[in-house]
A = this chain, B = another copy of it.
Amino acid sequence: MDFTEESATAAVVASFDATPDPRLREILTSLTTHLHAFVKETKPSRQEWEHAIEFLTEVGHTCDDTRQEFVLLSDVLGVSMLVETINGTEVGGTEATVLGPFHMTESPSRALGETIDEIGTGTPCTVSGTVTGLDGVPLRDAEVDVWQCNEDGFYDVQQPDTQPAGNGRGVFRTDENGRFHFRTVVPSHYPIPTDGPVGRLLNATNRHPYRPAHIHFIAQAEGYEPVTTHVFVADSPYIDSDAVFAVKKSLITEFVADGDRRHAEFDIVLAKVDQ
């Protein structure tokens, strides 16, 4: 019963046999199996394995209160979006996409029609829509939490010196017809942070770090499953090559020009909580 390339996986899986939590045991069994398959397939040299250990260590050391490099790594490998997709909404409901790392502060409550832009230098834009159930019935008093970057591609938390806290953010409540509407500026595409090991990985693979322009939404109403999603600006650069794979066709929306303003209409459909 020597540890060999053939016996290795069974030996490690067996070591988890006494795990009390069956879900943890299931996850570790699957992890061991797939991780060993990866190692057997790529046959890393000792030096390559050391490089992998160093890379993961640097990813860990890059994480702090305002930076989550492991989420970025999960993002650029399509894993975050895969988890979103697996946990996706019921057919007919608004599709979910990644939360992203910038929902770190509470959005200020704002009245319908108010602006979330406190700067005034970008292209003015109005966004409106209706929140309904799968049956099309409008949901009044639904909460619609939105956040976005400014016209230069930065969120308020990234520019604490030049953007007031809460700029580009707002929590709205739908009216008696399930409608929400607010003013803002057209968001810009932007790069995910590239000054860490994940940025180096993108660079080494000739991948760009950009995300197409989008506004984040979390919509929720009592008795319904909340949805975390984006509305994507249809004519944004990188709409076909989001660095984090988060674009769904159903979320791409025309920001229609109307004089010197633009307007986007984005309806949100929620599924009822399973009884």
Contacts and interface: CB of A to CB of B under 8 A. Distances in A.
Interface of A: 2-5, 8-9, 11-12, 15-16, 18-21, 24-28, 30-46, 48-49, 53, 56-57, 59-61, 63, 68, 70-71, 74, 77-87, 204-207, 241, 245-250
22 contacts: A8-B81, A9-B78, A12-B77, A12-B245, A15-B207, A18-B205, A18-B206, A25-B205, A27-B42, A30-B41, A30-B42, A31-B77, A32-B78, A35-B38, A35-B77, A39-B86, A40-B86, A43-B86, A56-B60, A59-B60, A60-B63, A60-B70
Instruction: Name the prevailing secondary structure of the A interface residues.
Output: helix
A12 B75 CA distance: 10
Contacts of A49: 74, 79-80, 83
A275 B55 CA distance: 33
A203 to B, nearest CB: 11
Most buried by B among A21, A40, A60: A60
A150 to B, nearest CB: 27
A245 to B, nearest CB: 5
Nearest to A48: B27
Nearest to A27: B42
Contacts of A83: 39, 44, 46, 49
A75 to B, nearest CB: 11
Given A8-B85, A83-B49, A86-B43, A206 B20 contact: yes
A16 B207 contact: yes
What are the 7 closest A-B residue pairs judged by CB atoms, nearest first?
A60-B60, A12-B78, A18-B206, A34-B38, A19-B205, A34-B34, A49-B83
